[in-house]
Amino acid sequence: MKFAVIVFPGSNCDRDMYHAVKHVLGMKADLVWYENSHLENYDAILLPGGFSYGDYLRSGAIASASDVMQHVKKHADAGKPVLGVCNGFQILLESGLLPGAMLPNKNLSFMCHHEALAVSNHETQFTANYKKDEIIHLPIAHGEGNYFADADTLSELKRNHQIVFTYENNPNGSVSDIAGIINRRGNVLGMMPHPERAVETLLGSDDGIRLFQSLIKNWRNTYAINA
Ligand SMILES: NC(=O)CC[C@H](N)C(=O)O
């Protein structure tokens, strides 16, 4: 299984993501500069965190208009997995690959600490290795993590079990304590907390590693190969 970590000008969690999949999980992975649109040979696309284009206009807005996102959409339309973390989630929202929008944190400050999260849906290809409603701990690091969706979108997300992670102690004002959502089809996940920064106990938590392991296991089961 081969991962592409897309790098935009201003990405700053790309190397953490690469380290997690390449060195901790032992998978094939490349850092892919946003101007390179050849994504056909990758099985999964990872949109890392950071400040793409300096968060100008709105975080993720300018990156969402780049050509590479058309190729990410093609990849998603083919049913292949896409994971957006933090700024990656913001880009997925701005691209329309996931519903809703991100607002500034309710205290208008950048926050950087560990948060307790509940795995609200453990029946996705990203969360199958977690237990139902398991509480896990992942770091957050964002200024615009206050997820908003209108009432109709919210009830649709709830009805379709698309809310995958919720905060135990909502730090940023997100509606319904939402920390991560998945698309209807179940192959595009966006989340504000950073699983790639919680893959070794030395980092304070290794709760993030099972997200990547879930994805790899699902891919191997689907394609019945050990690569
Ligand atoms: N770690 C990140 O991805 C930062 C996210 C983002 N640009 C913000 O501060 O809201």
- Residue-wise pLDDT for 2-12, tens only, equals 999 999 999 99
Ligand 1 atom closest to Cα of 51? 7
In terms of Cα–Cα distance, which of 30, 49, 140, 39 is closest to 87? 49
- CA 220 to ligand 1 centroid distance, Å: 32
As for the ipTM of the complex, it is 0.94
Strand 188-191, strand 82-85: pairing: parallel
8, 15, 59: which to mutate for ligand 1, most atoms within 8 A of CB? 59
- Beta bridge partners, 6, equal 32
Residue 101's CB is within 10 A of a number of other CB atoms, namely: 17
Is the pLDDT higher at 25 or at 203? 25
Instruction: Supply the range of the domain harboring residue 213.
Output: 2-223
Please report the pLDDT score of residue 161 as a whole number.
98
Q: Give the position of tokens 């000008």.
A: 9
Residue 75's CB is within 10 A of a number of other CB atoms, namely: 21
**Residue 134 annotated among the catalytic residues of the structure:** no
For the cut 90, the answer to whether the pLDDT of residue 223 exceeds it is no
Q: What is the mean pLDDT of residues 69-92?
A: 97
CA atoms within 13 A on the CB side of 5: 23
For the cut 80, the answer to whether the pLDDT of residue 37 exceeds it is no
- Residue-wise pLDDT for 50-59, tens only, equals 999 999 999 9
- The letter for the amino acid at 152 is D
Please report the pLDDT score of residue 225 as a whole number.
67
Please report the pLDDT score of residue 123 as a whole number.
97
Q: How many domains does the chain have?
A: 1
- Residue-wise pLDDT for 111-135, tens only, equals 999 999 999 999 999 999 999 999 9
**Residue 142 annotated among the catalytic residues of the structure:** no
Paired tokens of 101: 């929008």
CATH number of the domain residue 163 falls in: 3.40.50.880
12, 16, 47, 55: which to mutate for ligand 1, most atoms within 8 A of CB? 55
For the cut 90, the answer to whether the pLDDT of residue 38 exceeds it is no
Please report the pLDDT score of residue 226 as a whole number.
61
For the cut 90, the answer to whether the pLDDT of residue 36 exceeds it is no
Please report the pLDDT score of residue 23 as a whole number.
98
pLDDT-based confidence at residue 63 (cuts at 50, 70, 90): very high
Question: Crossing angle of helices 67-77/87-95, nearest 10°?
Answer: 80
- The letter for the amino acid at 71 is H
- Residue-wise pLDDT for 179-204, tens only, equals 999 999 999 999 999 999 999 999 89
Q: What is the mean pLDDT of residues 100-108?
A: 97
pTM of the model: 0.97
Q: Which residues contact 24 (CB under 8 A, 6 or more apart)?
A: 199, 200, 209, 212
The active-site residue, picked from 13, 75, 86, 94, is: 86
Paired tokens of 55: 């968060």
pLDDT-based confidence at residue 13 (cuts at 50, 70, 90): very high
Please report the pLDDT score of residue 148 as a whole number.
98
**Residue 13 annotated among the catalytic residues of the structure:** no
For the cut 90, the answer to whether the pLDDT of residue 227 exceeds it is no
